[in-house]
Each structure stands twice: as structure tokens, then as C-alpha cells.
Amino acid sequence: MHQVKLSENIHYVGVNDRKTHLFENYWPLENGMAYNSYLIDDEKVALVDTVERGFIEEYLDNIDAILEGRAIDYLIINHMEPDHSGAIRAIVNKYPNITLVGNKKTFPMLANFYNIQENTLEIAEGSELSLGKHTLTFYMIPMVHWPETMVTYVKEEKILFSADAFGSFGTLNGGIFDDELNLDFYEDEMLRYFSNIVGKYCPHTQRALAKLEGVDIRMIAATHGPIWRTDLNYVLERYKKWSSYETDPGVVILYGTMYGNTEKMADTIARQLSLRGIKDIKIYDASKTHPSIIIRDLFKYKGFIVGSCAYNNEMFPSVENILTKIEHMGVKNHLLGIFGSFSWNGGGVKNLKKFADNIKWDLVYDPIEEKGSLKGDKFAMCVNLANEMADRLLG
């Protein structure tokens, strides 16, 4: 195998997953996923995180190619989620004298997941561990995105092993470091990863960023996605922006329709937004678009206009599913518009109003509800809705 070095004695030993269709059995992986793990070859050998259990054989081969039969002394467990802890049992079996390093919230999970309770070393905020030439310092970043999550910093090399923070969906296709890659590939996948995996915990992310501002970081090595060694601001500035709910003046239009009437309203609104100079307009059919795409774009654009036909006196089911997820994510600071249609009894717009009450975004125009196909007066209201949204966005 090609050995990938972060420094003279620090190696990348991760794997690519191009087989799994759904991350956490929910998020689509059209571009796959990388599980990153790192090996520090010193007087004491340390492994930083592991990989998903389906890749254990390849993973152990990667480690053997570097160590050539020598043992690992420490396993640093930054994050217990099984896509990173899945090979822990295999590592313990292969290296029975290994010491497992984590914090007080790590080890109950380790026992519950894998029934492992021996050979542990509990560290705390600011604890240090010497490997010889390298000193590891540990910082807690709880709820980015699990309560036990921490990061590990190598003082001598100024490398931060950041767990899931600063990660991305997408495999590493030859290039490992940011300067080896066309980052256009990762732009949307980074945001989709942040918004859907970490985005519910934006205040915690802000606190983690503030804590790490005082650390002299030359390289960021996350457990997913590229290793950042050349343009750290590329990822740091994006995390600052996204976690503060700072958005661009675009609009996401989501609709649910059975016979095309609600879709026609969405197109009418979109056309008027375009005439008003809004260039970033995303229109999504709720029955065809995964919630992860909608949530990603909500972290990108400030305007959200949602429409639903009536369905058994309720919202259209696919719209309801996505809106429930958006409420759960707790996304803030958006402008909202709602619309819909019905054939013989309402329900879509009535329940969209409940969503508006719950989400507490700024409703820019009165809800619009049409009976049957779009007609003159409701057409004019759709235009007015678009104008009000454009006025607020262009402000």
C-alpha cells in the first residue's frame, strides 16, 4: 500500500467505504464515506480512533504495513460512534496489552457497546500523555456531536485530531490532503455533513471553536473527509459561518403535490423571485428529495417557502416528514412563506401554520391556499409572497 504521512512519524491508516448506501442507516451516501484513523509511531505507539467494523481486515493490514509486527501501546478514543469505534474489539484482541485512552463519558459507552472495561486510562480537559518525542493534549468538545467527544492535539507537530468536527461526506479518491483535492467536490458534502450530523448542536460547535482558537494548529485531521494542511481557513471559516446560522440571500422552495396544482404555485413564486433578482433558488419535490438535501440548503440560504396540498385533512406526508426533521434540527434565523392547495377539504395550509407557530421563523406574507388549480387572485398573492421575500432578502 502507499503509506500516507502527516509527518515523519504520524501516518494515515484509514479506509474508504463505497458500499454503504445510508450513513447511520438514514443519510444517503452517493459519494461514499471515508473513515479516517491515524497511527503515531514513537517510543510508545498510539492509534487515534479506528474504523467501521466492515473494514477491519483492510484496516489491520494498513497498520501492519507500518508497524511490521510491533505492538500498539495506546488507543485514543476521541469518539465512540460505531463508525469509529467499530474495530476496537479487533484491536484489543490483536494487541491485548493496549491501553484505551478516553474521558469519563467514554468508558461507560465502551462497556455498553463492546463489554470492554479493562486496561483503560481516563484523561480530562488539558491532560497530557507523552509517547516519547510526541506529547498528546486532550480537549473536550461535548455534543459535537456526542457527549463524550474529545479532540487530541500533538504539540510538537501542531496536528489536531478532531474526531467528527470538520469532517465531510465523500470518499478520499486518491488525494488525502486538501491541497491534493478539487474541493468543489466536497463543498456541498461538507455542508450536508455538518448540517445533518452536527447542525443540531450549533451552540456547542461555537463553544468548541472558541476553545480551539487558543491552540496553535498547523493541520486538522478529522475522522471523515480531507486532512487540512494548507488552507485551514477553508474549513474553519465555514464551520464558524454555519454554526452561527449565517446564510446567503437565496430561497429553498419545498412542495408536496399530487396533481400538480401546488407545484404550479411553487413555480409561480420562483419565477417572481427570479424577476426580483434572486439567483439562488432551489425547488424540491418533497416526495423525491431526501431531507438531508433540504436541511443542507437551509444552512446555506435564508429564505424557505413551503407548500403542501391537503391529504386526508393533513399535510402531504412527505412534506410533514421533512418539516418534522427541520423542527427537530432547531435551525434558526430564517424567513418563511407558506402556501398550498386543496380539492374538497383543506388541511395542508392549516398544518403548515402549525409548523410556522412551532418554528418561530419570520413569516413574510399571509398563508396562501387555493382550491383546485391556480387562479387570478391567488396567482397575485403568490407574486406578492415572492416580492415580500425578495424585499427582505435584498433589504
Whole-structure pTM over 0.85, yes or no? Answer: yes
**Residue 330 scores a pLDDT above 70:** yes
C-alpha grid cell for residue 254?
A: 419545498
C-alpha grid cell for residue 27?
A: 443519510
* Rounded Cα distance, 77 and 148, in Å: 9
Question: Can you list the domains of the chain with their CATH numbers?
Answer: 4-243 (3.60.15.10), 248-394 (3.40.50.360)
Cβ(389)–Cβ(270) below 8 Å: no
Query: What burial class does residue 355 get, using C-beta atoms within 10 Å of its C-beta: 0-12 exposed, 13-18 middle, 19+ buried?
Result: buried
Q: What is the pLDDT of residue 3?
A: 85
* Rounded Cα distance, 230 and 6, in Å: 12
Write the pLDDT tens digit of every residue in 267-295: 999 999 999 999 999 999 999 999 999 99
CA 293 to chain centre: 11
Q: What is the pLDDT of residue 346?
A: 87
Cβ(335)–Cβ(393) below 8 Å: yes
Residue type, 369: E
Please name which of 64, 38, 20 lies closest in space to residue 176, comparing C-alpha atoms: 38
Write the pLDDT tens digit of every residue in 336-389: 999 999 999 889 999 999 999 999 999 999 999 999 999 999 999 999 999 999
Percent of residues, the chain, with pLDDT higher than 90: 97
Query: SS3 for 161?
Result: strand
Q: What is the pLDDT of residue 275?
A: 98
Write the pLDDT tens digit of every residue in 100-122: 999 999 999 999 999 999 999 99
Please enumerate in sequence order all residues whose Cβ is within 8 A of that of 202, keeping only pairs 6 or more positions apart, or say none. Answer: 242, 243, 244, 245, 330, 332
**Residue 1 scores a pLDDT above 80:** no
| 73 CB neighbour count, 10 Å cutoff | 18
Cβ(72)–Cβ(98) below 8 Å: yes
Please name which of 83, 76, 68, 80 lies closest in space to residue 17, comparing C-alpha atoms: 83
Write the pLDDT tens digit of every residue in 166-175: 999 999 999 9
Write the pLDDT tens digit of every residue in 127-170: 999 999 999 999 999 999 999 999 999 999 999 999 999 999 99
* Rounded Cα distance, 85 and 75, in Å: 10
Mean pLDDT of 235-263: 96
